[in-house]
Amino acid sequence: MGFHWSIRTALAAGLGALCLASPALAADPPTRAALVLHADHPGPVIERNIYGQFAEHLGRGIYEGVWVGPDSKIPNTRGYRNDVLAALKEIRVPVIRWPGGCFADEYHWRDGIGPRDQRPVRINTLWGGVEETDAFGTHEYFDLAELLGAQTYVTVNVGTGSPEEAVHWIEYITTETHSTLGDLRRKNGREKPYQLNYVGVGNESWGCGGEMRPEHYADVFRQYAAFLRPVPGQGKFTKVAVGPNVADYAWTEGVMSGAARWIDAISLHYYTVPTGVWPHKGPATGFDEDLWIKTMSQTLRMDELITKHAAIMDKYDPQKRVALFVDEWGTWYDVEKGTNPGFLYQENTLRDALVAALNLNIFHRHADRVKMANIAQMVNVLQAMILTDKERMLLTPTYHVYDMYKVFQGATEIPLDVDAPAYAYGGVSVPSVSASAGRDPQGVTHIALVNLDPRHPAAITVKLEGLSASKVGGQLLTAPDMDARNRFDAPDVVKPGPFAGATLARDTVNLTLPAKSVVVLDLR
């Protein structure tokens, strides 16, 4: 992938661990890393959809988070929060996956159409045992996507649904004809068809979506794919197969071997759990350096997972026609005390910002296969972009990384070689520096850099091969504390600012990355 890291010496790594163990040594000289940018060997395009979002009927992710209804006192546009809409537009949300998630395999689309006060109220047994009013349904989702200029990614119900139900939903969404379903959509307020871009055939069918074996799911996918056809006059949509849970390589093998020719894309789900133990995942705040480095180590597994699953895909799809969609990823901690455990509400810190940057760097470097990624989730759930508290809203550190990195949407990936020492603590060792690069359509080259070490700055040299630049600038995101976070009464604790610490001398950029920081450079 044009990326590697190396430990300079075992001694250096050992001394690094010793220094990190002692706060008194935090002012030691910076570590040093050398990068080589191969602008003369451009890679594939970094698809915009790598910056995709995920919105499930879960907790306050949709209700209050995005949708408050047109009669709310919270300023809104046809029921959508104005503050949330503006924030999401700013980061250029390219695609939104909906309605789930596990919720999708219990969701029947007819419940979410027609007059809102006449829609059935059900119990969301999956997430919190609360009432699901179905006030946010098909029209509300597609209207939201249009307001944001985002593509649409709908997951159809395989677990408790049928191919017939899925076919009827697609006809309702997309037909221009005056069929019964087309006229039903018109009766419900939408004359012209909606644009449908991606259709997920079930969700986590190895688990909450049906407890299936891969061979069985491959046959189920083939059955659905046979009937999920674009209606006349509408463009083709991408059919997405349920892919593996983390390192379940047997699932990828079984599904690809049984159904590759019918699949347009296959998904991958992987969450960063600091402890690696689901019942006790670790806190979102108040953590120590042990959990910091474990979080980074668990996050960096994403590179190995993509590499190994892609190798299996290559066996059955050497032309790389089938895309890999990492359509659920992010941090997953113990829920905040005093909140509904089924709402998966957690605070968002500088640590989450680095996790986001690390994953985006990995996706950039695998742009030949990874064509979409959907962080979980957009608002108020898990590693959210935005948190709300009734009428109040704040932007999380993760949001700010997406804002800094939006320059990579549609850029051409540029390979980077990275030679950096290890950051080691408590018996865990990770590369101290992560990086990726791309050239945007306007010809500006961007380099994203992450210093994983929470105590030591990193002195960086970047050798530019095949690139002449006369100006360098950038943005920096960092904070004094590992668990620094934005609060409703202090929303700007973690916020990016200008970075003027890079200098350009002929074909080399020199800079010092602060400890626990994210920097995006612009070379012109």
**Token digits for 73?**
């006192």
CA-based nearest residue to 282, from 352, 386, 358, 373: 352
Q: Is 328 a catalytic residue?
A: yes
DSSP assignments along 177-206, one per residue: S--HHHHHHHHTT--SPPP--EEEE-S-TT
List 56, 171, 328, 347, catalytic entry: 328
Task: Please give the C-alpha separations between residue 187 and each of 18, 139, 169, 311, 424, in angstroms, as whole numbers.
Answer: 70, 12, 15, 49, 62
Q: How far is CA 106 from CA 126, 208, 438, 471, in A?
A: 9, 10, 41, 54
The secondary element (H helix, E strand) that includes residue 423 is: strand 422-425
Here the tokens at position 159 are 């677990």
Are 454 and 288 in contact by the 8 Å Cβ rule? The answer is no
How buried is residue 346: exposed, middle or buried, by Cβ count under 10 Å (0-12/13-18/19+)?
Answer: buried
56 is catalytic: no
Asked if residues 245 and 206 have their Cβ atoms less than 8 Å apart, the reply is yes
Catalytic residue among 204, 253, 347, 413: 204
390 phi-psi bin (left φ>0, alpha ψ -120 to 50, beta other): left
Beta bridge partners of 265: 240, 323
Q: Report d(CA 485, CA 492) in Å as an integer.
A: 8
Cα(5)–Cα(434) distance, integer angstroms = 9
Measured between alpha carbons, how far is 461 from 503 in angstroms, rounded to an integer? 10
Active site residues: 204, 328
